[in-house]
A = this chain, B = another copy of it.
Amino acid sequence: MVSNASRSPTNYPRNCWWVVATAGEISERPLGRVVLERPVVLYRRTNGGVVALEDRCVHRWAPLSIGRVQGDDIVCRYHGFRYGADGRCVHIPTQNAIPKKARVRSYPVLERGPFIWLWTGDDAERHDAPEPPDLSWVDDPGWVVARGDYELHANYMALKENVLDLTHFPFVHADTLAIADFLQPPEVTVDGDRVAYEMVFRDLPLPALYADLTGIGRDRRATRIFRGAFVSPAIQEATVEIVDPAAAPGQRDRFLVRVMHLTTPRSPTSTHYWWVRGQDFGDRPGVRERLQATVTAAFAEDKVVLESTQALIEADARHRDAPEVSVRADEAGMRMRRIVERMVSRETPQ
């Protein structure tokens, strides 16, 4: 039996690259974040590189994130202990000798386009792990991009299951996305640790959002292909391809939407969620703003459902062991749970 991973207390593997911030958030002012229950402080060093350290001075445990950055170092606000970018204490104001143990953990960190990624696991495992994805389309001027983030008061897996099963659209997003026809379980394929779904809607009228922005219009028919995948515990991706079978010669007949769902557990019941949605069409005045507003509203609808469910679980300890009734449309989610459970069980607890 596959247990409901979204109810399990610590269902996240450490050996993973997790988003910890957007690139624009990192500067010479320290930023404190919590990733997998660990406090982390982030700042940008003089060469522009990003530093991520354990956010706790070794001395009396003041958070380094309330201190200040000095060159490439960070200085504790309490007694001025100074740490280099590698986490090693390099200066103690009241003495010359620096104890060997005076060192905070330094986290590997990668800047990839709009996001900063943090490695929370064992060093030895890092080089075998897949690197964070290239999201160059986010900054491509040809793309119309909306993005946002929020603190979700729910387990991260609840959101990952949500975005891996679009059959909630007609119920959760009826007022915003107004896509009513997701009523078939998708095709699911598993390839290693990747779980993908596909739903094809052939030769049907397009939902208003797509009809208007592609220029196909509300009267003609077209094909939509929804694809999405669990890429890692931190990453889920999705695309919508719209194909116009009756495009006039020389006219564009393919349109693409891309969505990234990036989730980082703060704790078993709290998640930082970043999303990006882009499309390679419809770049007219006002469109970005319209998409930004629509997608923000839609993802706020998910928040209501997921948080009220989490609140219900927490209100009663008995819920944790209650069974769920799963259906065919849950296949992708169930397979993802199994993969994540395996990832977690392979790790030694810390």
A: residues with CB less than 8 A from B are 6, 34, 37-39, 55-56, 58-63, 66, 75-80, 89, 92-95, 99, 101-102, 158, 161, 165, 167-168, 170-172, 183-185, 304-305, 308-309, 312-313, 315-316, 319, 322-330
Instruction: Contacts A94-B183, A171-B80, A185-B95 given; indicate if A66 touches B308 (C-beta within 8 A).
Output: yes
CB–CB A94/B61 < 8 A? no
* A63 cross-chain contacts in B, Cβ below 8 A: 308-309, 312
Bound-state CA distance A102–B58 (Å) is: 52
Bound-state CA distance A94–B326 (Å) is: 12
CB–CB B304/A95 < 8 A? no
A78 is contacted by which of B56, B92, B172, B315 (Cβ under 8 Å)?
A: B172
Instruction: Contacts A59-B327, A94-B184, A327-B95 given; indicate if A37 touches B170 (C-beta within 8 A).
Output: no
A99 is contacted by which of B58, B102, B158, B325 (Cβ under 8 Å)?
A: B325
Which of A38, A56, A60, A94 has most B Cβ within 10 Å?
A: A60
24 cross-chain CB contacts under 8 A: A6-B60, A37-B316, A39-B312, A39-B315, A39-B316, A58-B324, A59-B324, A60-B324, A61-B313, A63-B309, A63-B312, A66-B304, A66-B308, A76-B171, A77-B171, A77-B172, A78-B172, A78-B309, A79-B329, A93-B183, A94-B185, A94-B327, A94-B329, A102-B325
Instruction: Contacts A78-B168, A328-B94 given; indicate if A315 touches B37 (C-beta within 8 A).
Output: yes
CB–CB A167/B60 < 8 A? no
Bound-state CA distance A37–B317 (Å) is: 10
CB–CB B325/A59 < 8 A? yes
* A62 cross-chain contacts in B, Cβ below 8 A: 305, 308-309
CB–CB B326/A95 < 8 A? no
